Structure 1
Amino acid sequence: MSGRSEGGRRETTVRSSQGLWMMVGVTEKGSGSAEQRLYDAVARWNADTGYGLADMIHAACQALIDGLDSPTLRELAGASVRDSSWDIRELVAKSLEELKIPYPGTVPPGFALATGGGVARRPGVDSLRLEVTPAPGDAGGGFQVQVYVNGTEMTSAAAGLGMDPYDVLVPTNRLVAASQPRTVPIARCECGVYGCGSTDVTITRDGELVHWDWSIEVPMNRGVSFAAAEYDVEVARVAADHSWETAERTAGRRVLTDMDRERLLTHGLRTSWVANDYRDHELFRVALQIDGDYQVFVDTLWRGRGPEELAREVCATLALPPSEWRATWHAIKPTLTKPPKIAGPSWRPARF
């Protein structure tokens, strides 16, 4: 595969199904080729629930207008949302086969369907800006990482709210593009809970490009691709910018970054969250979990100290054997009435 750009379009040489090399065009802006638009509509359609069916039928009509044509595509364009899902499945499969459009899920990340057939590498024409901003109070407060692609904020158009910095930037920057593709949560429901509403991106480094491919609740009908050098600078910048942090957040970042997680794992402990106790902001709390059995809380008084000093004490405490902690515990399973086996004499039941 090779390519060149001319007049706002990218022409790329691809091998056809007959093994011949040919030139095809890929629109550099917008939702791409007619083939890509139909492919995207099929990908959004859920055959089990019927979600997206009307949009897919409309996309089939639009595909005919855009110049695609096949006997079964015409039937699909004339289908009804009341038709049998099995009949629709058959029409979709035959239409894609006749048009030589791959079935959703088979196009590699970072590639798009090209005009006339085949796939082409997406050009790095998109721009990225990341910003940490306060989250609305009705979402539980806190902060969110907002994502601007080509100047437009994406998380509000996706699941509704950006992810908390602790979920994507701390203790490791999950937005860094690695040699292997990784899927990262990028947006959550407006209520503040990821899973109630969710948007993910699969991040793929592809030579001098970085590709994002959206999934679940997508904010736009195409993946986006960035120049890798510019992407790396922006992702590093937002991770290094702590100007938005409160003292509580600075302490939390230091604790999450500096705690000895491997040591905690030897006791079956995993970190759940870190924050001030909502009932007493003079207490900084580390919440840990033992499998699905127990929650464990380790509290540290601020005593007028700065976040760095507090974080050092918290990490020093967590480095001790759990039996030496002053901690509280809560059984997740009602059948558990005794404290965890790792509990020491200073452990007490948590009160809510």
Structure 2
Amino acid sequence: MRFSPGLWMMVDVTEEGSGSAEQRLYGAVARWNADTGYGLTDLIHAACQALIDGLDSPTLRELAGASVRDPSWDIRQLVAKSLEELKIPYPGTVPPGFALATGGGVARRPGVDSLRLEVTPAPGDVGGFQVLVSINGTEMTSAAAGLGMDPYDLLVPTNCLVAGSQPRTVPIARCQCGVYGCGSTDVTITRDGELVHWDWSIEVPMNRGVSFAATAYDVEVACVAADHSWETAERTAGRRVLTDIDRDWLRAHGLSTSWVANDYRDHELFRVALQIDGDYQVFVDTRWRGRGPEEVAREACATLALPPRQWRATWHAIKPTLIGPPKIAGPSWRPARF
């Protein structure tokens, strides 16, 4: 389910509706927004259904008889006490890799889910590409924040989906406008012996985490990173630059990589955009001249391996108070024109 103040949508990937009585009550509590009142009617109905399904406690009976006109503080207390009596953890407190157990408490999730990753073009109004995530055969990114992450944000230069020895939280979906932060979905990836767990956060597409057999997960994650069949020449050059660029050298000069792409005004120019703190943008261009992406990437990296004063670059001050070029600028640096 995707939880937001005014909207939720069901994504049936694991027969969630046929889960345990504890899971159904837990899901109703997770969808409920105590501040806005969103989901309160469903919550009360879920409490009634829980009684029908065989759950029972003194406070659950009170919750089932509550009214949507009752003070939110009273509802909060009824919900918290009901979950405590039933030994159901409050939403947000289930440890990564665990799920509700029938009869109360939590249990380690079994690796029964399947994962499919695919890079496809993003919608025309956004452009570029996206990494689509399918769980148990159902595409999930559209049910999450709306759009898959760009491969540069997820797979290049580091494959962020690799399950390491320590849990990591990575963005998995962004808003349909193409901006992560306008709408966002994250997953926390946890390796747990022979299993890999995903636990959703922010705009979640379903009301439980998913768990995979580690061997199958590792293969799928490695395959999507190794598959470059979708790449355009511009994207291949970008991948090579982002992978091969000497970041330590740039960092020593106060520079970090911002983005790589063809100049939107002149597709014969391949552009590497850099940033100096929050002060300046710096652009270093390489002409295609009919060459392949590997050769263009090599030239771009060779240029960036030189001292910045030797670059032919353009600059743009991010802060309006900065009227001159950055201190590292050389004689061939010019103000950028947009």
| TM-score normalised by length of structure 2 | 0.91
| Kept after mapping to 2: 8 A contact 1:24/1:114 | no
Aligned residue for 2:102, secondary structure, equals: coil
Q: 2:164 aligns with which of 163, 167, 178?
A: 178
| Kept after mapping to 1: 8 A contact 2:3/2:204 | no
Aligned residue for 2:320, secondary structure, equals: coil
| Cα pair distance change 1:128/1:30, threshold 3 Å | farther
| Cα pair distance change 1:102/1:315, threshold 3 Å | same
Q: 2:26 aligns with which of 20, 39, 45?
A: 39
| Cα pair distance change 1:180/1:28, threshold 3 Å | farther
| Cα pair distance change 1:25/1:341, threshold 3 Å | closer
TM-superposed CA distance for 1:319, in Å, is 1.0
Cα-to-partner distance string for 1:134-164 (whole Å, 9 max, x where unaligned) = 11111xx110111111111000111111111
Cα-to-partner distance string for 1:160-186 (whole Å, 9 max, x where unaligned) = 111110011110100111111111111
| Cα pair distance change 1:15/1:330, threshold 3 Å | closer
32-41 or 340-349: bigger deviation: 32-41
Q: 2:128 aligns with which of 137, 142, 157?
A: 142
TM-superposed CA distance for 1:43, in Å, is 3.1
- For residues 24 and 228 of structure 2, the distance between their equivalents in structure 1, rounded to whole angstroms, comes to 40
Cα-to-partner distance string for 1:25-49 (whole Å, 9 max, x where unaligned) = 9999767422233223333434334
TM-superposed CA distance for 1:74, in Å, is 2.5
Which residue number corresponds to residue 56 of structure 2? 69
- For residues 183 and 59 of structure 2, the distance between their equivalents in structure 1, rounded to whole angstroms, comes to 35
Which residue number corresponds to residue 77 of structure 2? 90
Unpaired segments ≥5 residues, structure 1: 1-13
Aligned residue for 2:18, secondary structure, equals: coil
- For residues 88 and 206 of structure 1, the distance between their equivalents in structure 2, rounded to whole angstroms, comes to 37
332-341 or 226-235: bigger deviation: 332-341
Aligned residue for 1:232, secondary structure, equals: helix
Aligned residue for 1:262, secondary structure, equals: helix
TM-superposed CA distance for 1:21, in Å, is 37
| Cα pair distance change 1:15/1:132, threshold 3 Å | closer
- For residues 149 and 17 of structure 1, the distance between their equivalents in structure 2, rounded to whole angstroms, comes to 21
- For residues 114 and 176 of structure 2, the distance between their equivalents in structure 1, rounded to whole angstroms, comes to 25
| Kept after mapping to 1: 8 A contact 2:131/2:151 | yes
- Give the superposed CA RMSD: 6.4
| Cα pair distance change 1:337/1:82, threshold 3 Å | farther
126-135 or 84-93: bigger deviation: 84-93
| Cα pair distance change 1:277/1:27, threshold 3 Å | closer
Structure with the bigger percentage of strand: 1
| Kept after mapping to 1: 8 A contact 2:145/2:184 | yes
TM-superposed CA distance for 1:324, in Å, is 1.3
Cα-to-partner distance string for 1:107-130 (whole Å, 9 max, x where unaligned) = 211111111122111111111111
| TM-score normalised by length of structure 1 | 0.87
| Cα pair distance change 1:97/1:324, threshold 3 Å | same
| Cα pair distance change 1:47/1:343, threshold 3 Å | farther
Unpaired segments ≥5 residues, structure 2: none
TM-superposed CA distance for 1:100, in Å, is 1.6
| Kept after mapping to 1: 8 A contact 2:140/2:205 | yes
| Kept after mapping to 2: 8 A contact 1:25/1:114 | no
Cα-to-partner distance string for 1:178-208 (whole Å, 9 max, x where unaligned) = 1111111111111111111111111111111
User: Whose RCO is larger (CA < 8 A, sep 6+)?
Assistant: 2
| Cα pair distance change 1:63/1:290, threshold 3 Å | farther
TM-superposed CA distance for 1:304, in Å, is 0.8
TM-superposed CA distance for 1:22, in Å, is 35
- For residues 209 and 285 of structure 1, the distance between their equivalents in structure 2, rounded to whole angstroms, comes to 41
| Kept after mapping to 2: 8 A contact 1:26/1:32 | no
- For residues 266 and 192 of structure 1, the distance between their equivalents in structure 2, rounded to whole angstroms, comes to 32
TM-superposed CA distance for 1:341, in Å, is 1.4
Aligned residue for 1:286, secondary structure, equals: strand
TM-superposed CA distance for 1:291, in Å, is 1.5
| Kept after mapping to 2: 8 A contact 1:16/1:118 | no
- For residues 332 and 14 of structure 2, the distance between their equivalents in structure 1, rounded to whole angstroms, comes to 66
181-190 or 24-33: bigger deviation: 24-33
Which residue number corresponds to residue 4 of structure 1? none
22-31 or 321-330: bigger deviation: 22-31
